[in-house]
A and B are shown apart, each in its own frame.
Chain A
């Protein structure tokens, strides 16, 4: 996913001289492509994320489109106030890129687990938030971030994620992508969980459960229409995300609670408590139900549970 991002950014920077890339002394074997091609618009700000984000704001004040890049929580947590005050409040053209979203750095330990980022960032004003599911989405979101003024947060995986969408898949700002149509329930995932959801779909089909599957590349702006359609047309919604509370599940619940229509709903997500053991991304996900089995089980419960009372 990070390769798709950097290649797309280079292609865009070829055409648009306003594009800058700042990194926080990270990005080995990824961002050299940009640094070599556009040295006057590249900067390693050092291990100094507060200054990096302030610099990005200053560069954006002068009309540039500035991407900041680092691992997991580093470009958002240490410099959160710079993001809030300097970037978001001033509605500046700064796009923050975190590589290794979720548990991609599983074995590195909790400091490298980006599992609160969507919750924290979704509290910021003016900020677009995207977590693509595959390289196709990553490329499209990168381009949308360049063409859409204002601040953005892009949560990427690492490298080697499979391509899940057709090459000509249409990705629009704030719109869900329907990957599979079905009527028994809707499974909505954000970020890198889509592959697992699609595998779970095969198993569900064997059990004669046919879900609608939506990939939600944008947490903000959120495709509330797709959620409401799913509620009305399929009657049950399961959200799946590699994130703790405060992400897609929370946002979906708020939409459902506000619509006045009872809908069966479950959020499959990580617990609030930190993960204190080492493990691969897949192992750590599975330990909390973010697996084919977990998704199948949650889907079956939603489909076979009592129908909700309609309250108008």
Chain B
């Protein structure tokens, strides 16, 4: 187990480093939003999801929807490192003519669906999960959403829908880093008590430290948490996690790091790319 945990932690650091490089090279943004989901994505793509990078459209694969499409750099890095496409293509991120746009875009091998506008992933995933239920298929459907996008009414329509139709093959992961695009969630539209809200909507809820790899592995291994109802993982995370100077700061939703900051981040992450 320990070697698995260490391996996944190492992968998460590598994905962070890739995202830092990509955002620096393209002078893009949303770095903090990428860094906060690195541990969750590493566990999903290297441990939890049943996927086959050489057959991206394999019909029995688990489906993963990145609803917070602005975390694109981190997911592209994961897909490339996992073998869906060449790592060298990551250098084109957000550059002229590249298919790797700043919000996650389908057509890139391994990407299930384009997102960018918030509140779209969960309803679509409900449709996929419903189709699987009605056809007695065994794959699971995962959605990774931001905390800020839980402001969107469309999500609550879907949160109401999923237990009604017993979608225990559906998993929502909330990247609860407590910062949305123009401030702290508690100051804008406070989501708390978030777990109680999901419980009231008849979801099975687990709250975890979204950077504790043992917890992430254990949690994903015990899906579904209860029979006949959907599962939600509220992952308490830190925006910008992994680069101390970027942690828990709204500014890193927008800023591009300087070369000095990139080099310092690489040293801190312990990755040489």
Q: Which residues of A does B touch, CB under 8 Å?
A: 40-41, 43, 45-46, 48, 50-51, 53-62, 64, 81-82, 85-86, 89-90
Of A48, A59, A61, A82, the residue contacting B113 (CB under 8 A) is: A61
CB B160 to nearest CB in A, in angstroms, measures 7
- Alpha-carbon distance between A43 and B127 when the two chains are bound, in angstroms: 11
A48 and B161 contact, CB distance less than 8 A = yes
| Complex-state Cα separation, A50 to B123, whole angstroms | 8
A51 touches B120 (CB 8 A): no
Q: Is the CB of B120 within 8 A of A85?
A: yes
Q: Which 9 A-B pairs have the closest CB atoms?
A: A58-B127, A54-B123, A51-B157, A48-B157, A55-B127, A50-B154, A62-B131, A58-B128, A58-B124
Shortest CB-to-CB span from A37 to chain B, Å, is: 15
Contact A82 B130 (CB under 8 A): no
Query: Does B130 contact A43, Cβ atoms closer than 8 Å?
Result: yes
Supply 14 further A-B pairs (C-beta < 8 A) apart from A50-B123, A62-B135: A50-B153, A50-B154, A51-B126, A54-B120, A54-B123, A54-B127, A57-B127, A58-B125, A58-B128, A59-B130, A64-B131, A85-B114, A85-B120, A86-B120
The residues of B that contact A60 with a CB separation of less than 8 Å are 127
Q: Write the nearest CB–CB distance from B91 to chain A, whole angstroms.
A: 26
Give B24-40 interface residues, CB cut-off 8 Å to A: none
Contact B153 A56 (CB under 8 A): no
- Nearest-CB distance from A46 to chain B (Å)? 7
Q: How many residues of B contact A (CB 8 A)?
A: 28
Dominant SS among interface residues on chain A: helix
- Listed A/B pairs (27) with beta-carbon separation below 8 Å: A48-B161, A50-B119, A50-B154, A50-B157, A51-B123, A51-B158, A51-B161, A54-B120, A54-B126, A54-B154, A55-B126, A57-B124, A57-B127, A58-B126, A58-B128, A58-B130, A59-B127, A59-B128, A61-B112, A61-B124, A61-B128, A62-B128, A81-B117, A82-B154, A86-B113, A90-B113, A90-B114
Bound-complex Cα distance A85 to B161 (A): 21
